[in-house]
Each structure stands twice: as structure tokens, then as C-alpha cells.
Structure 1
Amino acid sequence: MSGPPGGAAVEALAADAFWRFSLGVYGRPGVAAACLALQDRDGLDVNLLLFAAWMGHERGLRLGVAGVQAAAGAVAAWQAEVVAPLRALRRRLKDGPPPAPDAATGVMREHLKAVELEAERVEQDTLQRLAATIPVEPAPAGPALAAENMRAVAGLPEGMARSGTDARAATREDIAALAAALGAGA
């Protein structure tokens, strides 16, 4: 695989291009539920999935195994040591331990939500900067390439993209829903 054609063009993107893409996609019907299922059921990093979608849908770049590994490696520690613990704490405050949930812990939970979102933005900024340096292949941009990239993040073999008979069927269905939302928003 080779680097992206015109790597400088990726670097010259608006500093928040990936973030704006993510906000736009996440607000579409069914996307938040699919992302949360992929995160909670499959342990996938939603920011990495959205990065894969952005690279395919907006940039016309296929990640492949090497691209996914480079992107995941660049943010794995941040996701595991910062984003995930913030999320776990915010979720824990929803129903305990005492004195949670109450008004004071509700305010604290909202503050944690804002900090978690900022931590996710740091991760996305890291991924966007990385876009110019990871191994990719040019390909026709669109929902199909976004889905292919997201399946690569999820570790789903390409030949099994439509098979619904195994244990990963729900993962494929959620990725297909995300890709369909991209097509609906085009």
C-alpha cells in the first residue's frame, strides 16, 4: 500500500473537518444507537470507526489492515487510559454508588460528559493529523468504501460482509446501518 495521493492535501484540511463530519453523522437517525452497540457489545472505538467512515466516504481512501493498525496504535492508549475511564465514571454516576444519583452528582455527571467529549475530540484531532501519514489506497469515495473501512476496523473479513449467520452478524448490521446513514446524508 502507498500513502495518500497528495498527502499535503489531507494536512491542509480544515483542522476540524473530521470532527464536523462526525457530529453530522452521529446526529443522523439510528447512528448513535449503532455506534453505542458497536462500542458496548464489540468493544470498538467509535472514534476509530468514524475515522474509517470519514476516510472512505469523504476522502476516498481505503485503510486496509496496515492503515487500521497505524490509526488504532496511535490512539489506543488515549482511548484506554483517558476516554474509556471517563465514560465508565460518567455511566457509573447514572445510578450509583450513593449518593448518586442525586442533583449534585447529576451536575458532576454533566461536567464529566463535557470532559469526555473533549477527550474524544483530542482523539479525533490525533486521527485527522495522522491521516496524511498512514498507509492507504485511493478508491472511489462513498458509503461502500466507508463500510469496507469500518469492517476492517471491526476485524470482519471482506468476504463475509453480507453473511448474517455467524456471531458477528449484529456487528455487520450496525456497520451497514452506519453506511446507509452516510448514503442518506449525501
Structure 2
Amino acid sequence: MAIYNSASFPPSQLWDFATKLYSSREVEEACLSLQDRRGLDVNLILFCIWVAASGRGILTEDEMTIGIDAGIIWQSQVVGPLRHVRRFLKGPIAPADGRLGAELARVVSESELYSEHMEIQILSEIVVRPATGSFDMQERGQEAATNLLVYLDRMIEDIDNEDRSALLVIWQESFPAANPKYTDLFYPLIAA
């Protein structure tokens, strides 16, 4: 029995995009690598890509700032603590009953996913302009790479090739017909 009903959320193109993209095992692994290794917010990564993929182009400075600030607060106060508890419950939890611990782990896991959905909802309300951009996949891919580059520049000191490789997996799943060598984000990786 689920505690939460996802029907309570309004329809969200960002949520639909994010869950479809994240359903790829390679994308999930790349996202978790960036989250665990660099402390990046997976929802912000998916948001940066979705804005461009949906035809909304490059995030403005204000949109990026609002998204990052909202993500930092939500991750530190809600998602992060739930993730910590979920990971803790994966190990032995003696003296607690194992069956009860497993049920608690399930509830916490559902709560964490619910909180991620809430963050996606928050992010989806930041960009209110309609999708009027180009339908060219290369152009949208370049805009997504620009959004990602701005996000990474604000969050980490030096973007390394491991970061670029993980982002490339996510980017290529989103823009399979686009060429990464035409982006500022992936060109250093491709040229190396």
C-alpha cells in the first residue's frame, strides 16, 4: 500500500521527461555518480536539459539562480535527510525488528521519491515562457549543454573529464542525433 498518491501532483512535462530519461540504467548511474561524487542535484541536471529539450532555450541568470537556490534548500532540508535515512536503513538496524526496518525503509524510500517529485514541481514552475524555440535537435542539445555548463560552473570549482563523461551519457540519451563536439561542455572531452 502506497502512502502517497502521485495523482495529487498536477501534470508536469518536466516530471514526465525526467522519469523517462532517468529510467535508462546508464543515465541513472551517471546521475548518481554526479550526485555522490560532486554533490550535484540530479533534479537540477534534468531541469537544465529539459528547459532546452522542451524548446524553452537557455536559462536566464535569474532562472538559474532561483533553481539553484530552491534546489539547495530542498535538497539540504528535505531530500538529503530522507536519502541519508534510506541509505542507513540498507544496513543492519539491530536492535530493531528486521521486518519493521524493511517496512520503514520502503516508506522512507517512497517519501524520498515524493520529495524529489515535489522539487521537480518547484523547478517546473520557474520557467513560465512557452516552448517556442527551435525544433532542431543540435540546437536544443547545444542549449542544454550551455545550461549544464552554467550550472556546473556555479556549483563546482573545476569540471573534470569524469564530470563531462557522466553528463555526456545523460545528454546523448536526451539528444541522440546531436553531435557533442559542437558544445563548449563536451568538446574538451571529445578533443582529448
Class of the TM-score when normalised by the shorter of the 2 chains: 0.7 to 0.9
Deviation of the 1:29 alpha carbon:
3.9
1:174 aligns with 2:166: yes
Q: Percent identity?
A: 29
Deviation of the 1:119 alpha carbon:
0.6
1:77 aligns with 2:69: no
Structure 1, unaligned runs of 5 or more: 1-13, 157-165
- Aligned partner of residue 94 in structure 2, secondary structure: coil
Residue 93 of structure 1 contacts residue 101 of structure 1 at CA under 8 Å; is this kept in 2?
A: no
Q: What is the aligned counterpart of 1:44 among 15, 40, 47?
A: 40
Distance in structure 1 (CA, Å) of the matches to 2:141 and 2:96: 42
1:63 aligns with 2:55: no
Residue 31 of structure 2 contacts residue 42 of structure 2 at CA under 8 Å; is this kept in 1?
A: yes
Distance in structure 2 (CA, Å) of the matches to 1:69 and 1:180: 25
TM-score, length of structure 1 as denominator length: 0.76
Deviation of the 1:78 alpha carbon:
1.5
Distance in structure 2 (CA, Å) of the matches to 1:143 and 1:114: 32
Distance in structure 2 (CA, Å) of the matches to 1:35 and 1:49: 8
1:113 aligns with 2:109: yes
**In 2 relative to 1, CA 185–102 (structure 1 residues): closer, same or farther, beyond 3 Å?**
farther
**In 2 relative to 1, CA 155–100 (structure 1 residues): closer, same or farther, beyond 3 Å?**
farther
| Matches for 1:1-186 after TM superposition, within 5 Å | 15-63=11-59, 65-99=61-95, 102-132=98-128, 142-155=140-153, 168-184=160-176
Distance in structure 2 (CA, Å) of the matches to 1:77 and 1:124: 13
1:54-101 alpha-carbon deviations (Å, 9 max, x no partner): 001123411254432221112321211001100111011101442479
Structure 2 counterpart of 1:147, one-letter code: A
Structure 2 counterpart of 1:35, one-letter code: C
Structure 2 counterpart of 1:155, one-letter code: D
Distance in structure 2 (CA, Å) of the matches to 1:82 and 1:148: 28
Structure 2, unaligned runs of 5 or more: 1-9, 179-192
Structure 1 counterpart of 2:161, one-letter code: A
Distance in structure 1 (CA, Å) of the matches to 2:97 and 2:107: 14
Residue 43 of structure 2 contacts residue 116 of structure 2 at CA under 8 Å; is this kept in 1?
A: yes
Distance in structure 1 (CA, Å) of the matches to 2:97 and 2:146: 41
TM-score, length of structure 2 as denominator length: 0.74
Distance in structure 2 (CA, Å) of the matches to 1:167 and 1:153: 11
Q: Give the count of matched residue pairs.
A: 161
Equivalent residue for 1:163? none
Structure 1 counterpart of 2:164, one-letter code: R
Relative contact order, CA 8 A, sep 6+: which one is greater?
1
